[in-house]
A and B are shown apart, each in its own frame.
Chain A
Amino acid sequence: MIFKNTENRFGMITIVLHWLMAAMMVGLSIIGLWMVRIPISVQKLQFYGWHKEWGMLALMLVIVRLAWRIRNITPALDAIPAWEELAARAVHWAFYFFMFALPVTGWLITSSADLPVSFFGLFTFPNLMSGNEANRLLISNIHEWLGYALIATFCMHTGAALKHHFINKDNILRRMLWP
């Protein structure tokens, strides 16, 4: 098993971070879409609690992931059309943007609601700004649309990966499954 990336293969660390964060982003999106629609209840509160602490964990992980990516070589893309390569790279950097922008705007929302985030009961994150209803509404809107954009990007990325696997029958999806 290789841990670091090579010229043409992804290493274990990259693969684990990819799938771990993919699962978290899917889970966070589902909980996020659901929790805002249900009336105030113990369950709603619990969903918000999970969404916030897992979102903060995602923010911590994306820092690790970006650092790992910068310090590692990225395997070369197989021969694909230039527009596909451009699309693939754009989608990857869009993901990095969302992985930072979503947790940070989420942190700003909960700060402006003056409801600091507990990290699984271990410690509490400080608020980034003071309580303000107008700011909370504005940032909530931004967070919501970033969420929709993430889902759209997710569909493009997943669709492309499946197309390469089942239609082109190339190695693109397989190399993200096992080093």
Chain B
Amino acid sequence: MAQQKCVSCYGELSPLDQGPECAACRRLSAQRKTWPASASGSTNAAEQPTLELSTGEGLSALGPGATEFHAGDRVTYFGDYELQGEIARAAWAWSTRLVRSA
């Protein structure tokens, strides 16, 4: 039987891993959910603007484990950057594939 892969990092899943993600990715996913407030320097979620995305932008190739951002989602800031959607995730085999917007 083929070795199962983590849907986020494509690394090998351990028999002890429960679910589609490895333990490290599960931990990081949980950590990332706390980003919007801390990365913007504000702890007041109500201050965060919402992300306006139109549909059908023609973007393609959403990879496994990627996250789509939708209209109404809260914007996440990282320093000078406003994150608008995850477009690729891999174990050292990075590429800039694009998100299919909602």
Partners in one complex: no
B residues touching A (Cβ–Cβ < 8 Å)? none
A residues touching B (Cβ–Cβ < 8 Å)? none
